[in-house]
């Protein structure tokens, strides 16, 4: 059982470049989430999708866009990367009991 | 909006000492969850508390949910090096959002 799969695991971008972080879950969960975690910091919610076809802003949505492609997949796009977006990005999905299952993360550096 | 505060931010102990982290919510919670993140890893679910005053144990870990369902604690007895990591509490806010505390980073001197 793969759980939550994120790609890529590592990425280095130059300021102004764009990229999409991919996330897929195979647990048939309705809700999916994108968080960022800066060094030594907690988890900050970027965007979430409570169900297929819906997306909502979290705490820090500026500079990001998301797409809930289908029930399994939830992608995060950086249109014009900035050094302030250097972080570790986690995707998560939620089971019926509300337990969140996290992917292994994408470590992004923006130079 | 709902806020979840966690203290302390950092804790360094000698192996074998006890450790406690505290979590306080600005609003009453339907339940509270605890997660552990090992260095370089991702958060992993530990436990969920639902009832007022609930106490649950997992080996050396004891979790408590306050009577008013606004606070919680995690206590580790006789820490081991495998306990190293960051411990997060989290509570469900409105609109399907899980609100995380800032985490307590535990380091251990062997």
For A3-50, the pLDDT digits (tens) are: 999 999 999 999 999 999 999 999 999 999 999 999 878 899 999 999
Is the CB of B2 inside 8 Å of chain A's CB atoms? no
Tell if the CB–CB gap between B45 and A100 is shorter than 8 Å.
yes
Q: Is B53's pLDDT higher than 70?
A: yes
B43 contacts on A by Cβ (under 8 Å): 43, 90, 100, 102
* Cα–Cα nearest to B86, from B30, B40, B18, B33: B40
Instruction: Note whether A100 contacts B43, CB cutoff 8 Å.
Output: yes
Instruction: Check pLDDT > 90 for residue B95.
Output: no
Band of pLDDT at residue A72, cut at 50, 70 and 90 = very high
| Chain B residues closer than 8 Å to A31 by CB | 96
Of A90, A75, A96, nearest to A27 (Cα)? A96
Confidence of residue A67 (pLDDT cuts 50, 70, 90): very high
| Residues of chain A with C-beta less than 8 angstroms from the C-beta of B41 | 104
Query: Token pair for residue A76?
Result: 């995060």
Inter-chain CB proximity B88 and A42 less than 8 Å: yes
**B70-88: pLDDT as tens digits:** 999 999 999 999 999 999 9
> Which chain A positions have a beta carbon within 8 Å of B107's beta carbon?
none
Position A41 scores a pLDDT of 82
Q: Report the alpha-carbon distance of residue B102 to residue B97 in Å, rounded.
A: 16
Per-residue pLDDT for B93 more than 80? no
- Site of tokens 């968080």: A35
- What is the separation, in whole angstroms, between the first and last Cα of chain B? 41
Question: pLDDT value at position A1?
Answer: 63
Confidence category of residue A2, pLDDT binned at 50, 70, 90: confident
Give strand pairing partners of B45. B35
Angle in degrees, CA B23, A91, A36, rounded to 5: 60
């Amino acid at each position: 059982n793969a759980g939550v799969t994120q790609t890529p695991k590592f990425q280095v971008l130059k300021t102004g470049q764009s990229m999409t972080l991919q996330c897929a879950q195979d647990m048939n969960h309705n809700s999916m989430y994108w968080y960022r975690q800066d060094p030594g910091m907690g988890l900050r919610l970027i965007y979430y999708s409570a169900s297929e076809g819906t997306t909502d802003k979290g705490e820090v949505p500026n500079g990001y866009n998301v797409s809930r492609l289908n029930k399994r997949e939830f992608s995060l796009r950086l249109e014009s990367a900035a050094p302030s977006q250097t972080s570790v990005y986690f995707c998560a999905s939620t089971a019926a009991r509300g337990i969140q299952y996290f992917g292994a993360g994408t470590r992004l550096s923006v130079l | 909006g709902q806020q979840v505060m966690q203290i302390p931010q950092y804790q360094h102990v000698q192996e074998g000492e006890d450790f406690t982290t505290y979590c306080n919510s600005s609003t009453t919670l339907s339940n509270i969850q605890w997660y552990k993140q090992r260095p370089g890893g991702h958060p992993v679910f530990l436990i969920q508390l639902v009832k007022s005053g609930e106490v649950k144990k997992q080996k050396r870990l004891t979790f408590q949910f306050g009577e008013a369902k606004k606070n919680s604690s995690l206590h580790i007895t006789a820490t081991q090096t495998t306990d190293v990591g960051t411990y997060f509490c989290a509570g469900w806010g409105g609109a399907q959002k899980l609100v995380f505390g800032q985490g307590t980073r535990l380091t251990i001197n062997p």
